[in-house]
Every structure is written in C-alpha cells, then in structure tokens.
Amino acid sequence: MSEILVTGATGNVGRQVVVQLLATGTAVRALTRDPETAGLPEGVKVAGGGLSEPGTLEGALKGTSTVFLIWPFLTTEGAPAVLEVVARHARRIVYLSSSGVNEDAERQTDPINQLHADMERLIEESGLEWTVLRSNTIASNARGWADQIRTKHVVRGPDIAATAVIHEHDVAAVAVHALTDDRHVGTKHVLTGPQVLSRAEQVHTIGEAIGRPVAFEKVPVQVARQQMLADGRPPALVEALLASAETRPASNLITSTVEEITGMPARTFRSWAEEHADAFR
C-alpha cells in the first residue's frame, strides 16, 4: 500500500490518526509546517508544507494514495486549489466534518457548519473518491478551559447546545478504518459519544476527575466577545464561535457508528477527563 498523508498531524485528532495508522502497520506521512518540532512517533515520515500554500503540497503528496483532511480555516477560499493538487496524486480523501451539517437545509445554522457543508460539496465535486466523517463535539476542545480550571476553579463563557461529546481517539479509530478500507468510499459517517452533555456537565465531570469542584458560569455573548477579542483571538473566529453559541440547535443525537465500525463502544467523556486530569490540576 502506498503512503497515507495525514494533515493536521500535530493536532489532537490528527496525531491520534498517525499513531493508530502506525499501529496497523500502515505507511504514514504527516504534513506539518515545522517538521523539526512536530514530535511525532518514530516510523512516520514528516513532510513540510501547509494547506494555505497549495504549492508546498506537491512533495508531500508524491507516492500517497489517500489523504486525511482536516480543514483549519473559516472559509473554503483556498480549498479548490488544495483539492486540485490532492487529485493529481491521490485517489481518495477522508474529510473530518461536523455532525451539525444538515443536508436538507439550504443554509446551515451557523458559520462553522456552513463551512463544513461547503467543504463536503467541493470534495464530492473534486473527482476524488471520498469518505466524510461528521463528528460531534470533540472532547479535546475542553483543553481550552484548562487555565481557568487550574487558576479559578470556574469556567466562564458562552453556553452552547448540549451534544454527544466524542473522544478524539474514537474519531481517529473510525478514520483509520475509512482510510484503509475501500468499503467506506462514498459514505458519510456520523460520529458521536455515548452521552449528550452540556458544557456545565462537562466542566462538572472534569472537576470530579481532578478531585475538586469546578463550576460553569454562563456569560452574555457580548461579554464573551469582548473577552475573547481581548485574549487575542481573531475576530472572524470569535464571531464564528459566538454564532454557534447563539444559533446552534439542541441535539439529542447519539449514534452507534463508532462501535459498528471499530467493534468497540464509544468512550465516555468521563474517561477522557480522567485520562487528561493532569492538564487541569
């Protein structure tokens, strides 16, 4: 088998995909802007390049058959050029999307889901074989609360509709199957964890994992906007995140896809919190 290229290879999901692919004996190439500091496991080939510069992908893609794509931008502006380069070298793409995408809607409820819907359309039109993984909220997003939990024992921020939070290990495990098994071509898998949780419930669970009470304090969107901008977050990202908080509908969706594909039940958020407790102490 020719190599599989993993984008976002130093992130929470991408790193897991790399590790799990290596464990199956698959030849893996990881795309990163700074190969010297990637810190990836022995056995993976690290290629320098970035999705914002399609010309840097040519060398990374040579000899690859399949690409795992995490799109890190808030618009699809550069996506056609990237997909064109990918299609010159690979035959398949596995894309990490969002479970919030509604195929029946003319427009999605918020900018992030709209981005994923637009990316899915571009990928389907690219001529590549494709698989889409529509993931629910990924547990590792909770790392963003670590500083508040360590220093203040409270998480302050805008609330967002409860969802069935999924462990990044499970997202990666499904991705490995999709990347290595042609039976997943042309499918859209919706991935969730086993329990619908609010932000307050996630924060409470982290508190139990570290052995001290931690509370969630909802703040008005305008206050959250001012704080996020003061923290140096890009304005476009702030608006996209706050739109999600304001308009994303509640969801009770729980799927069995993780277990059906991997043979193992989806991990709980509690198990994630216990695994990563040291990051919050």
Q: What is the pLDDT along the chain (281 residues), one digit of tens a residue?
A: 589 999 999 999 999 999 999 999 999 999 998 888 889 999 999 999 999 999 999 999 999 999 999 999 999 999 999 999 999 999 999 999 999 999 889 999 889 999 999 999 999 999 999 999 999 999 999 999 999 999 999 999 888 889 999 999 999 999 999 999 999 999 999 999 999 999 999 999 999 999 999 999 999 888 889 888 988 889 988 888 888 877 777 889 999 999 999 999 999 999 999 999 999 99
> What is residue 281's DSSP assignment?
-
Whole-number pLDDT of residue 231: 84
Element (H, E) at 130: strand 129-135
Name 154's bridge partners. 215
Q: In Å, how far are 22, 23, 145, 179 from 41, measured between CA atoms?
A: 9, 11, 27, 19
Taking every pair of C-alpha atoms in the chain, what is the biggest distance, in angstroms?
53
Interatomic CA distance for residues 69 and 226, integer angstroms = 32
User: pLDDT tens across 75-106, in order?
Assistant: 999 999 999 999 999 999 999 999 999 988 99
SS3 state of residue 136: coil
SS3 state of residue 231: coil
Closest by CA position to 169, among listed 48, 23, 53? 23
Whole-number pLDDT of residue 116: 97
Whole-number pLDDT of residue 1: 57
Any idea what the Cα angle at residue 275 is, between residues 193 and 266, rounded to 5°?
Answer: 20
Q: What are phi and psi of 156, to 5 degrees?
A: -110, 130
Would you say the C-alpha torsion 178, 73, 170, 43 has a positive or negative sign?
positive
CATH numbers and ranges of domains, the chain: 3-137+167-191+253-266 (3.40.50.720)
Q: What are phi and psi of 230, to 5 degrees?
A: -65, -30
pTM: 0.94
> What is residue 278's DSSP assignment?
G
